[in-house]
Structure 1
Amino acid sequence: MEKLKNIIKTHPKKLIVLLVLLVAYYFCLPKKLFNEPTSTVVLASNNELLGAVIADDGQWRFPKSDSIPIKFQQAIVQFEDAHFYKHVGFNPISIYKAFQQNRKAGKVVRGGSTLTQQVIRLSRKNKKRSYIEKLKEVILATRLEFRHSKKEILNLYASNAPFGGNVVGLEMASWRYFGLKPAQLSWAESATLAVLPNAPSLIYPGKNQQKLKVKRNKLLHKLYKEAIIDSITLELALAEELPQKPYRLPTTATHLTQEISKKYKGNRIETSLDIHLQKQVNQLVKRHYNRVKQNEVFNMAVLVLDVKTRKVLAYVGNSPTDKKHQKNVNNILSRRSTGSVLKPFLYASMLQSGDLLPQQLVSDIPTEIAGYTPKNFNEEYDGAVPANEALTRSLNIPAVRMLQRYGLEKFREDLKEYNINHIDRSANHYGLSLILGGAEASLWDLCKTFAGMSSTVNHFEELKHQYYSNEFVEPTYFKNKKVSFGTIVNQPKNIDAGSWFLTLETLTNVNRVATDQAWKYYDSAQKIAWKTGTSFGNRDAWAIGTNANYVVGVWVGNSDGEGRADLTGVGSASPLLFNVFNLLPKSDWFLEPFEALIEEDICTESGYLALPICPSTKKRIPQNGLKSKSCPYHKEILLSKDNLYRVTANCEDITSISKKTWFSLPALMAYYYKQNNADYRQLPRFKTGCNPLENNTISFIFPKDKQTKVSLTKGFDGKTNPVVFKLVHNNTEAKVYWYLNDEFLKMTENYHEIAVTPKKGKYTLTVIDDLGNEVKKSLEIN
């Protein structure tokens, strides 16, 4: 201690200078040696390259890798710096030899730099060589050796060395010249790349082959001499050809790569994509594209999610089309009209609220609501149809009427729970067309919503009849990210497992395309809940399906929004959907959530809760189904002795009256229902003399009883005047439904008069009141 004090007292200035030099030495090396922009690199779950985006400076420079393959390590060390693991950043002997050779030659013929010095030179942008610059490199190289391990220094070199053209770094060079990952390179390929940074201009495919071969083979012989490779390996390596042409980088998931590049530019991203599934889906999309483009449909998208982890397994943002047809548009994220894809969520909401039972009859009749007139796709009517069948057939009129009954504002609030980004307007903005495609959503969000539906059912049993608070969580394409389903709660936020399960069961009965009608008879067939959608004007075709493990979503159309007549969800999107499902492992179906369902007597004909007079069967329904109405269509009537007429106790002897239960629909529903249900029987007429019939008679005012011809007239402006049909009904509270040649015209009450402008021809005018009384009249319009 005394010695140190004496030294400080004796040489204070020297110590200060030494301290300054030490501090300068410590801080002489920048914290980050390389600040150049790097390419965005996207990897599959097995670390295979899916795609990459060039760095902002136009160089193909991959982010620094965590490791370097042993073959390249040994090759580069033997070629550039055989004493790499022994020196502290510079090799005095090599420098001396290089100085002597360069002095004799009068020019630089030998470098003498270690790999550590070369890392420094690369970081300093290859400044002009001089003895001063060489001294700086030596100092900085020693500092680098103190700060980093030999392995890290090798990594820095391999990541930043030039390999010809705009190729920087081993990883990019490996892909560019051999189409392989660095770890897959042979000894000959590793040796080829090891000699390139020394003279990167050599590696232009097809040129300078002999010079490059001499350098490579010389290195291979040295590797053999150092016993790094054996004689057989040497012989095989020497026989390998040099690269003849550059390889293109993989473009296995182009649109995901571009999307990641926007958010995580310059990073290496490990995704959850299954490389084998991705390639297979790419092939399916290519084949499907070649079919649908014959109909001038040029774009599509496919997304595959794992229900249990919410990880993206396959991501195809567009078809292999051209620039003219918007090949760069990512149709997984683009907002598109939803068509009928939201119908299952209305169905589930109504099951949950008790406003609907699965097989309950809903109206499918001509409908006009505040000027809005929905139409079914086939422009026909069923009169009454079970709700589950209305969903599987995607009937529009029942959906609109159900939405009106459930409440537009209420359903709009329900949709908020699913976090569908583009459904961001008020209920009044969308109106009742919301359920038919009046709103827009992306394939990403719709698949997310179907995954939440499936996941709720899966988790119900796993959580012992409880729920997660965040089932509709955002999916992820990151390999190591785990999504959070929220906290465990006793009640669901919106819809319980029972209602979702019944919805999924219903969706398994959607009819597949005509060529696949026998699918359910195949042993290998998967049970899939799926829904299609076709937007107005045939602009968007959707098909989204799910089982307990996977969600597959497909969109087909034109990215510019141009519609095509034959573009439909069933015909254009569903074939691709099922082809993708066929690639996936067969999945078990959902476990039925018994505790979320109850067993009740259900009317076999109406689907409502059964009355004592209804024919019924036991069905499992949501717990809130008990709030549903009892059957309104079964009634007990009195019949005459011969069962031909309805009677009352006032007009028939009580001993001649029989009582019978009858299934009877309202007049307008019955009119269309009986056309598709041959076994439907209208209520018998009342026997003559019984009062109800006398109070419900219909008489035409125009045309008159015997009138069979009606002439069209023209006004002063030359336009044809409408024909005005009139009638009178004895019951002032009756509603009357008018039809012309089976086409519904209008419903009237109180004052029964309608104006129509038919073309010339023969017609049948039919009127029916709400008690089932019917009058027909044949007319000829001339």
Structure 2
Amino acid sequence: MLNWAKDRFQWILVLLGLGLGLFLFWNCLPQPLFNTPYSTVLEDQNGKLMGAKIASDEQWRFPLSKDVPTKFEKALLEYEDQYFYQHPGVDPTAVLRAVIQNIEAGKVVSGASTLTMQVIRLSRKDQPRTYWEKIKEAILALRLELSYSKKEILARYAAHAPFGGNVVGLEAASWRYFGRPPSQLSWAETTTLAVLPNSPSLIHPGRNRNRLRNKRDQLLKRLKNSGTIDSLTYKLAKSEPLPGKPLPLPRIAPRLLTRMVTGKFRQHRVKSTIDLSLQKQARNVVERHHKLLKQNQIHNTAALIADVKTGAVRAYIGNTKDASSPHENNVDVVTAPRSTGSILKPFLYMLMQDKGQLLPNMLVADIPTEIAGYSPENFSRSYNGAVPASEALSRSLNVPAVRLLQDFGVPRFHHYLQQMGMKTLDYPPEHYGLSLILGGAEGSLWDITGMYTSVARFMNHYNAANPQTNIFRPKPLHFTKGAENSSEYSFPLNAGAVWYTLETMLDVHRPEKDVNWRQFQSSRKIGWKTGTSFGYRDGWAIGVTPEYVIGVWVGNADGEGRPGLIGIKTAGPILFDLFDSLDKTSWFHEPLYAMQKVPVCSKSGHRAGPYCNTVDTVAVPKPGLKTEPCPYHQQVHLDKTENYRVNSNCMSIEKMKDESWFVLPPAQEWYYKQKNPNYRVLPPMLKQCQKNTDATTVMELIYPHDASQIYIPKELDGSKGKTIFKVAHRGNNSTVYWHLDNQYLGKTKDSHQMALSPLPGRHLLTLIDEEGATLRHQFKILSR
């Protein structure tokens, strides 16, 4: 009985020992197996290398690749471990052979390490080469074989084996020594890399070249003898030279690689959405233009090509590639906030149509304007009086844009820009004010190109039968596969408003070489918009088609302005050359069900009123039905000669002749008639009919129009400056008498303007024409 209890206790100890041994064996493998830093690797959409960033330990070590090329596998196994697929991690035959060889030699001449054991040794860096360490490696190798397949073990060896210098892993070695991926190496190149991990120091140019060649050629001979390669391949492979000094890795999208390294993709292999061929073409286009632009001291350019369907970026040029330049060429301008110039105007035009505040060709005022101390000017420094909204957009007129934004509301526009994806609006609306539409805010090329891409995608998806397609859902751009994200925002949008905006963008004046594009049937339709910031610091161009959106920015990254740095001359030519590198593109379908045909006054672009004498039936966005009828056509009463206006105060109704007349407000009329010689000025009122004439119908202040506070700066010599007061009068030969605070100043004829220098304080300006019409305006002169 005592012996039985003793035996049972011994068996328990044995089982416990076995259990503990199995537990220790199962948990002996480190997790992760390799705890080393990796390079960040950027690939195009097809897995082609575009660039890499060296690992943090200054080693070129690419992240693990699942596949090992067949050539390399055969060469490596022939050289290192012929029975790799037969043994369980340790090769007993090799161990026995190594023991015998070491005993006979009296020293260690063979280690009998399998590839699995070498993977373990690579993962356990800098361990001494002792018998005890060999035993540990053997145990860990057996354990490794239980967790990984043979292919996985082979891949880990290929990714972590040393290849000389600071080159680690097959993929990095292939690019550094041969400038190609491992799958494209010849047999000579493959066998060179297969023998290197065993003696990585042999790769150094000028040293050990014959030893490296001998090792390579011996392996080639073994491959010939085993039937892996034929005799001709063997002879040709032996004649190939050894690699020279390490080659630089590709740098095809360096700013995108930097963006990945500083973002969440560090130490990753990233398959991007970039089209390598298109990226190279885009880079060549940008560099060709850069050679011309830098002659004017314009040093930086950025460009994006985005796929409308997915929002994927197909080409990413973060800056010009002159890394040795002192002009901040390493800055990624794609993500840098820059003054937007006029590039946001189409969004305002689109939104106002969507909200029923604007029709596509409705006349908008283009006259000298001052609003709360802000005085916008057109680029040409001239005014049109009144201009169709579509023309104001295609010509990028500043004054109409500011007046439209005042009508729409800065907070409202600010809100929609944020919802559409403009992430750089860090301040509240009042910080930007009306300058928001002219570059008073900063935007990035990334965000703005994404906003236009979302607009194009909305048009592509519109389907009158599906109400969900009436909802605008912005989608940010992305440059990695599988990273498509929708914005958290969405709002209803009329497709007709979008379509008219894109159609208007077709009319933007193209660069010189494309100026006659409409005359050629082969020309592609591209809706585009330019922008130029204040001080000629930023030139923008955005182009839109149903397939692609291209965004271009040109300027100096340090903010230096240059004469001639305007969007149409600098960014525009690049934009159209980039489109030339793309496949043929189409144009958007007219969303007829989002629009409705209505009578529209041909002269004013408003819905036709009762006195419009020329009417067109036009399809307009359905919200446009809320706009007011034409305010410019009115019925006027003339005498029989039709030379004078009359009214019932001086003439009986039966003697009057009624006529519909297109009449602009005086200030608009003053500029409009200068550029429209066919404009018919209202005839003067017959003298006996002039009682109680409203002065605002014949006179209007151009400056100060709405200003109640005026600041008069000092001249350069320190003397007190003057302000030019200007008034428009309908009469071609009219005389206006000027009074300031009941003091007569003088008179003007035809062109009515006077330079005044009132003292600080409140004043009353009184204007009286020769017929007695009186216009009064109160204002305040600020001391500063």
Quick check: TM above 0.5?
yes
Q: Which residue of 1 aligns with 2:570?
A: 572
- The CA distance in 2 between the partners of 1:504 and 1:661, in whole Å, is 34
Q: Which residue of 2 aligns with 1:301?
A: 302
CA gap 1:461/1:541 in 2 versus in 1, 3 angstroms = same
Q: Which residue of 2 aligns with 1:497?
A: 495
1:316 aligns with 2:321: no
CA deviation vs aligned residue, 1:681-717 (integer Å, no higher than 9, x gap): 1011223433359886999xxxxxxxxxxxxxxxxx9
Q: Which residue of 1 aligns with 2:615?
A: 616
1:727 aligns with 2:737: yes
CA gap 1:695/1:472 in 2 versus in 1, 3 angstroms = closer
1:357 aligns with 2:359: yes
Structure 2 unaligned segments of length 5 or more: list them: 700-716, 726-735, 776-784
CA gap 1:525/1:698 in 2 versus in 1, 3 angstroms = closer
* Structure 1 residue matching 2:491: 3-state secondary structure: coil
Tell me which amino acid in the other structure corresponds to 2:268: N
CA deviation vs aligned residue, 1:128-164 (integer Å, no higher than 9, x gap): 2111111111111111122211111111110100000
1:542 aligns with 2:540: yes
Measure how far apart 1:650 and its partner are.
Answer: 4.4
1:228 aligns with 2:238: no
Measure how far apart 1:10 and its partner are.
Answer: 5.7
CA deviation vs aligned residue, 1:505-561 (integer Å, no higher than 9, x gap): 111111112332111222332211111111111111111111111111001111111
CA gap 1:497/1:640 in 2 versus in 1, 3 angstroms = same
Contact 2:213/2:242 (CA < 8 Å) preserved in 1? yes
CA gap 1:305/1:468 in 2 versus in 1, 3 angstroms = farther
Of the structure 1 ranges 330-339 and 609-618, higher mean CA displacement relative to structure 2 is found in: 609-618
CA deviation vs aligned residue, 1:338-386 (integer Å, no higher than 9, x gap): 1111111111111111111111111110111111111111111111111
Measure how far apart 1:418 and its partner are.
Answer: 1.1
Q: Which residue of 2 aligns with 1:85?
A: 85
Q: Which residue of 2 aligns with 1:94?
A: 94
Measure how far apart 1:743 and its partner are.
Answer: 6.9
Q: Which residue of 1 aligns with 2:729?
A: none
- The CA distance in 2 between the partners of 1:24 and 1:634, in whole Å, is 96
How large is the RMSD of aligned CA atoms in angstroms? Answer: 3.1
CA gap 1:224/1:570 in 2 versus in 1, 3 angstroms = same
Q: Which residue of 2 aligns with 1:458?
A: 460
CA deviation vs aligned residue, 1:571-611 (integer Å, no higher than 9, x gap): 11011111111112222211111111111111000111111
Measure how far apart 1:170 and its partner are.
Answer: 0.4
Measure how far apart 1:195 and its partner are.
Answer: 0.4
Tell me which amino acid in the other structure corresponds to 1:526: R
Tell me which amino acid in the other structure corresponds to 1:306: D
CA gap 1:287/1:738 in 2 versus in 1, 3 angstroms = farther
Of the structure 1 ranges 405-414 and 186-195, higher mean CA displacement relative to structure 2 is found in: 405-414
Q: Which residue of 1 aligns with 2:337?
A: 335
- The CA distance in 1 between the partners of 2:754 and 2:55, in whole Å, is 66
CA gap 1:327/1:750 in 2 versus in 1, 3 angstroms = closer
Q: Which residue of 2 aligns with 1:151?
A: 151
Measure how far apart 1:6 and its partner are.
Answer: 11
Measure how far apart 1:96 and its partner are.
Answer: 3.0
Q: Which residue of 2 aligns with 1:417?
A: 419
Tell me which amino acid in the other structure corresponds to 1:564: R
CA deviation vs aligned residue, 1:138-195 (integer Å, no higher than 9, x gap): 1111111222111111111101000000100001001001111111111111111000
Q: Which residue of 1 aligns with 2:482?
A: 480
- The CA distance in 2 between the partners of 1:445 and 1:769, in whole Å, is 58
- The CA distance in 1 between the partners of 2:317 and 2:694, in whole Å, is 67
TM-score after normalising by structure 1: 0.88
Measure how far apart 1:107 and its partner are.
Answer: 3.8
CA gap 1:25/1:600 in 2 versus in 1, 3 angstroms = same
Contact 2:472/2:493 (CA < 8 Å) preserved in 1? no
- What pairs up with 1:75-224 in 2 under 5 angstroms? 75-224=75-224
* Structure 1 residue matching 2:266: 3-state secondary structure: coil
- The CA distance in 1 between the partners of 2:364 and 2:136, in whole Å, is 86
Measure how far apart 1:745 and its partner are.
Answer: 7.1
Q: Which residue of 2 aligns with 1:635?
A: 634
- The CA distance in 1 between the partners of 2:488 and 2:373, in whole Å, is 44
Measure how far apart 1:277 and its partner are.
Answer: 0.4
Contact 2:445/2:552 (CA < 8 Å) preserved in 1? yes
Measure how far apart 1:671 and its partner are.
Answer: 0.6
Measure how far apart 1:497 and its partner are.
Answer: 1.3
Q: 1:383 aligns with which of 385, 388, 400?
A: 385
- What pairs up with 1:251-266 in 2 under 5 angstroms? 251-262=251-262, 263-266=264-267
CA deviation vs aligned residue, 1:666-689 (integer Å, no higher than 9, x gap): 111011101111111101122343
Q: Which residue of 2 aligns with 1:288?
A: 289
- The CA distance in 2 between the partners of 1:451 and 1:770, in whole Å, is 58
* Structure 2 residue matching 1:466: 3-state secondary structure: helix
1:593 aligns with 2:591: yes
CA deviation vs aligned residue, 1:607-644 (integer Å, no higher than 9, x gap): 11111321110111111111111111111212232322
Of the structure 1 ranges 462-471 and 535-544, higher mean CA displacement relative to structure 2 is found in: 462-471
Q: Which residue of 2 aligns with 1:705?
A: none
1:691 aligns with 2:690: yes
CA gap 1:206/1:661 in 2 versus in 1, 3 angstroms = farther
Q: Which residue of 1 aligns with 2:730?
A: none
- The CA distance in 1 between the partners of 2:771 and 2:272, in whole Å, is 65
Measure how far apart 1:94 and its partner are.
Answer: 2.1
Measure how far apart 1:771 and its partner are.
Answer: 8.9
Contact 2:463/2:469 (CA < 8 Å) preserved in 1? no
* Structure 2 residue matching 1:313: 3-state secondary structure: strand
Measure how far apart 1:720 and its partner are.
Answer: 7.7
Q: 1:554 aligns with which of 533, 552, 555?
A: 552
- The CA distance in 1 between the partners of 2:747 and 2:469, in whole Å, is 49
- The CA distance in 1 between the partners of 2:444 and 2:724, in whole Å, is 49
Structure 1 unaligned segments of length 5 or more: list them: 700-716, 755-765, 774-782
- The CA distance in 1 between the partners of 2:560 and 2:694, in whole Å, is 57
Tell me which amino acid in the other structure corresponds to 2:636: I
CA gap 1:698/1:168 in 2 versus in 1, 3 angstroms = closer
Tell me which amino acid in the other structure corresponds to 2:515: Q
Measure how far apart 1:407 and its partner are.
Answer: 1.5
- The CA distance in 1 between the partners of 2:609 and 2:723, in whole Å, is 46
Q: 2:431 aligns with which of 429, 435, 439?
A: 429
- The CA distance in 2 between the partners of 1:372 and 1:737, in whole Å, is 29
CA gap 1:242/1:470 in 2 versus in 1, 3 angstroms = farther
- The CA distance in 2 between the partners of 1:543 and 1:5, in whole Å, is 92
Q: Which residue of 1 aligns with 2:779?
A: none
CA gap 1:264/1:768 in 2 versus in 1, 3 angstroms = farther
Tell me which amino acid in the other structure corresponds to 1:316: I
- The CA distance in 2 between the partners of 1:120 and 1:685, in whole Å, is 102
Tell me which amino acid in the other structure corresponds to 2:579: F
CA gap 1:581/1:535 in 2 versus in 1, 3 angstroms = same
CA gap 1:323/1:720 in 2 versus in 1, 3 angstroms = closer
Measure how far apart 1:278 and its partner are.
Answer: 0.6
Q: Which residue of 2 aligns with 1:240?
A: 240
Tell me which amino acid in the other structure corresponds to 2:737: L
Q: Which residue of 2 aligns with 1:780?
A: none
- The CA distance in 2 between the partners of 1:200 and 1:718, in whole Å, is 78
CA deviation vs aligned residue, 1:264-317 (integer Å, no higher than 9, x gap): 111111111111101110111111111111111111111111111111111110
Identity %: 46
* Structure 1 residue matching 2:529: 3-state secondary structure: strand
Measure how far apart 1:464 and its partner are.
Answer: 2.7
CA gap 1:8/1:225 in 2 versus in 1, 3 angstroms = farther
